Amino acid sequence: MLLPTPDTVVSVENVDGCRPFVMVCEHASNEFPAPWGDLGLSAEQRQAHIAWDPGALSVARGLAWRLDGPLIAAKVSRLIYDLNRPPHAPSAMAARSERHDIPGNAALSPTDRLARSNAIYLPFHARVRAELVRRLAQGQSPILVTVHSFTPVYDGQPRSVELGVIHDAAPDLAQAVLAEAKAQTIMTSRLNEPYSAADGVTHTLALHATPLGLLNVMLEIRNDLIATPESQNEMAAELAPVLMRALNRLEGA
Amino acid sequence: MLLPTPDTVVSVENVDGCRPFVMVCEHASNEFPAPWGDLGLSAEQRQAHIAWDPGALSVARGLAWRLDGPLIAAKVSRLIYDLNRPPHAPSAMAARSERHDIPGNAALSPTDRLARSNAIYLPFHARVRAELVRRLAQGQSPILVTVHSFTPVYDGQPRSVELGVIHDAAPDLAQAVLAEAKAQTIMTSRLNEPYSAADGVTHTLALHATPLGLLNVMLEIRNDLIATPESQNEMAAELAPVLMRALNRLEGA
């Protein structure tokens, strides 16, 4: 089995952005490249939120350019490997997602799991680490922002929250972002909703921000609000100053 | 400046060891390879504990073979890069250690710090991560053990502790190791001495064990107890069953 190179699983944009925010988008893509292929899913399933976070890449890109920081994004579907999960989590290569069986993940051997972990998880997170280390070694203080979207209705249950602001161990930046989001936007914004670190959704923050003592936040945007290029652009334009002011709030404190 | 390849900064032994203990020795070496060289230190300084943890590699190797797990060890002095520190810690490339100035670290530029971080820190910790991920993806539960030694007299102050058992966030394994060390050895063994996570000495554990939820412990052995090949071998023979029984104690709980 010929495995892809790191370039085919991770992309980096605006790498020379010199401001502190480092954007990461683990669920950016609904691509199903060789050697894994479509996992037996229909075209409709491959477009659905189970395969990726619709709209998240575009918002993350808009934030990266507005905030002049880099963006590190996945180029493979979360159903092949969910980069916000460690390799021993069943959801890293989920056999079932919401109400869908994932045929290509039904009977993975330890060798299959290792191959995906080596081909996708390790190079993606090595790239994130390298970008943070590059800035730290040069005396900068990078800030990790992961950008996600969530479905308005999950397993039949509607969700009223529009912007979820989630943190790993240190809540500082998330609390400041929430305060600014409430002050500056009309979105229904809530801390640690629709899920939180206790649900295992902050792996990227736990892996990169917490051990290095970096400010961090995970943004979860309800995907019906970012369904078009126009609304994605507007969301980035709305959230960029929220992040900037949140940082100013912390630095002024 | 031609930088070394990963093979010249990190070694892996017993990679096919199939038991859960994964040994890491960040301060194994007092080598000062090109392009960094001796940093202006005397031969005596390069032999002293400021340059490495004397005896630690040999004990770690003895543990790896007895416990049938891998050993990942540094091949460069901690004074070139201290692999148990993040790149923004001043002590990662210390300008002064105990009572010694380190001339080659006195005026490092951001570019110098980045070059050392990229050449030493990133590949070393990528290798540790890859080894843990290899085991996790295949359904094993690796246990991270870092092996260190400390000087009996630091900055004029004698230290009575002989075995320090240190943990990052989760104390479980360290507490069990301490109990077994007290039960099975005559060493003066203490938890979180001569220093603890609060002193920033658990970076490797924080980077690799805590975010993945792995059992972890840092062993600190007073270096006068492991000054010869014979005493290093005896120490490994004494500590291997301590680790095994500590694990049994946790698994039986």
What is the reported pLDDT for B84? 98
Q: What is the mean pLDDT of chain B?
A: 96
Residues of B in contact with A210 (CB under 8 A): 206, 210-211
**Inter-chain contact B136–A206, Cβ cutoff 8 Å?**
no
For residue B19, give Cα distances in angstroms to B16, B61, B112: 9, 14, 39
Residue A64 corresponds to which amino acid? A
First to last CA, chain B: 54
**Inter-chain contact A138–B211, Cβ cutoff 8 Å?**
no
In angstroms, what separates the C-alpha of B89 from chain A's closest C-alpha? 9
* Residue A86 · residue B209 · CB < 8 Å: no
Distance between CA atoms of residues A247 and A244, nearest Å: 5
**Inter-chain contact A133–B122, Cβ cutoff 8 Å?**
yes
Task: Write out the E strands in chain B.
Answer: 10-13, 21-25, 71-74, 96-97, 100-101, 143-150, 153-154, 157-158, 163-166, 189-191, 216-222
Q: Which of A49, A58, A44, A56 is nearest to A79 (CA)?
A: A49
Paired sense of beta strands A153-154 and A157-158, if any: antiparallel
- Which string of DSSP letters, residue by residue, matches A32-83? --TTTTTTT--HHHHHSTTTS-TTHHHHHHHHHHHHT--EEEE-S-TTT--T
**Inter-chain contact A117–B136, Cβ cutoff 8 Å?**
yes
Residues of B in contact with A88 (CB under 8 A): 136-137, 139, 141, 212
ipTM exceeding cut-off 0.95 for this assembly? no
Q: Which CATH architecture has domain B6-252?
A: 3-Layer(aba) Sandwich (3.40)
Distance of CA A203 to the CA centre of its chain: 10
pLDDT bracket for residue B5 (50, 70, 90): confident
Q: From first to last of the 253 residues of chain A, give the pLDDT tens digit.
A: 677 888 889 999 999 998 999 999 999 999 999 999 999 999 999 999 999 999 999 999 999 999 999 999 999 999 999 999 999 999 999 999 989 999 999 999 999 999 999 999 999 999 999 999 999 999 999 999 999 999 999 888 999 999 999 999 999 999 999 999 999 999 999 999 999 999 999 999 999 999 999 999 999 999 999 999 999 999 999 999 999 999 999 998 6
**Inter-chain contact A113–B210, Cβ cutoff 8 Å?**
no
Residues 6+ away with beta carbon under 8 Å from B232: B55, B58, B59, B62, B226
Each residue of B37-77: pLDDT tens digit? 999 999 999 999 999 999 999 999 999 999 999 999 999 99
**Inter-chain contact B88–A212, Cβ cutoff 8 Å?**
yes
Each residue of A85-107: pLDDT tens digit? 999 999 999 999 989 999 999 99
Rounded (5°) CA angle A136-B201-B13: 90
Domain ranges, ordered by start, for chain B? 6-252
Give the bridge partners for B24, in sequence order.
Answer: B72, B146
CB atoms within 10 A of CB B196: 16
Paired sense of beta strands A163-166 and A216-222, if any: antiparallel
Each residue of B178-211: pLDDT tens digit? 999 999 999 999 999 999 999 999 999 999 999 9
pTM of structure:
0.95
Q: Taking an 8 Å Cβ-Cβ cutoff, which residues of chain B contact chain A? A: 86-88, 110-111, 113-114, 116-118, 121-122, 125-126, 129-130, 133-134, 136-139, 141, 203, 206-207, 210-213
Residues of A in contact with B121 (CB under 8 A): 133
Question: Percentage of chain B with pLDDT > 70?
Answer: 99
* Residue A172 · residue A246 · CB < 8 Å: no
